[in-house]
């Protein structure tokens, strides 16, 4: 993706924020810690970490933690999200792509053609993706009759 497309997206700052958020991860079961930083259209950054649960099912991913924080405070329009993840106590050696559930939750509010998903190992080593490429032919609010509120 070209630099023009990344205009207005502070990639390195977002990765740094995601790394800070990752330090807060509560992952005593998987020991896999994830941090995310969501950039709103207004250039606010909301961060999140994964929060696991003894009953497993109630666990939430870092991306959705950041998303629910932003939406619950009224920020539904976003430009990008940065994600970092890896096993506790190790250097980050892989890109942590968002799980399918998180991709679907992004689809609810973000324009898949525009929304940028940054997966990073460091502030210098990252990959830029668009949601439409991570969730091709995605199902969204426009597919449900009478419900197009998500992107409005």
Minimum gap (Å) between residue 32 Cβ and ligand THU: 4
- The nearer residue to ligand THU, 29 or 139, going by C-beta atoms, is 29
Q: What is the largest CA-CA distance in the chain?
A: 48
Minimum gap (Å) between residue 67 Cβ and ligand THU: 11
Minimum gap (Å) between residue 36 Cβ and ligand THU: 7
Residues near ligand THU, by CB under 6 A = 27, 30, 32, 34, 50, 52, 59, 61-63, 98-99, 102
Do the Cβ atoms of 116 and 80 come closer than 8 Å?
yes
CA–CA distance, 63 with 16 (Å, rounded to integer): 15
- The nearer residue to ligand THU, 59 or 104, going by C-beta atoms, is 59
- The nearer residue to ligand THU, 21 or 143, going by C-beta atoms, is 21
Q: How many helices (H) and strands (E) does the chain have?
A: 4, 5
- The nearer residue to ligand THU, 4 or 55, going by C-beta atoms, is 55
Residues taking part in catalysis = 63
Minimum gap (Å) between residue 49 Cβ and ligand THU: 7
Do the Cβ atoms of 34 and 76 come closer than 8 Å?
no
- Please name every residue paired with 45 in a beta bridge, in sequence order, or none if there are none: 39
For 39, residues 6+ apart whose C-beta sits below 8 A from its C-beta are 9, 10, 14, 45, 78, 79, 80, 81, 82
């Amino acid at each position: 993706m070209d630099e023009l497309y990344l205009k207005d997206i502070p990639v390195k700052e977002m990765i740094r924020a995601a790394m800070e958020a990752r330090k807060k991860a509560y992952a005593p079961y998987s020991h896999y810690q994830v941090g995310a930083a969501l950039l709103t259209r207004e250039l606010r950054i909301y961060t999140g970490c994964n929060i696991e649960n003894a009953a497993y099912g109630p666990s939430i991913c870092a991306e959705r933690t950041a998303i629910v924080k932003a939406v619950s405070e009224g920020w539904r329009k976003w430009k990008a999200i940065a994600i970092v993840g890896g096993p506790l106590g190790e250097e980050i050696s892989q890109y942590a792509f968002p799980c399918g559930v998180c991709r679907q939750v992004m689809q609810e509010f973000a324009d898949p053609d525009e929304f940028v998903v940054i997966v990073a190992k460091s502030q210098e080593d990252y990959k830029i993706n668009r949601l439409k490429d991570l969730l091709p032919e995605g199902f969204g609010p426009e597919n449900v009759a009478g419900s197009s509120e998500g992107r409005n």
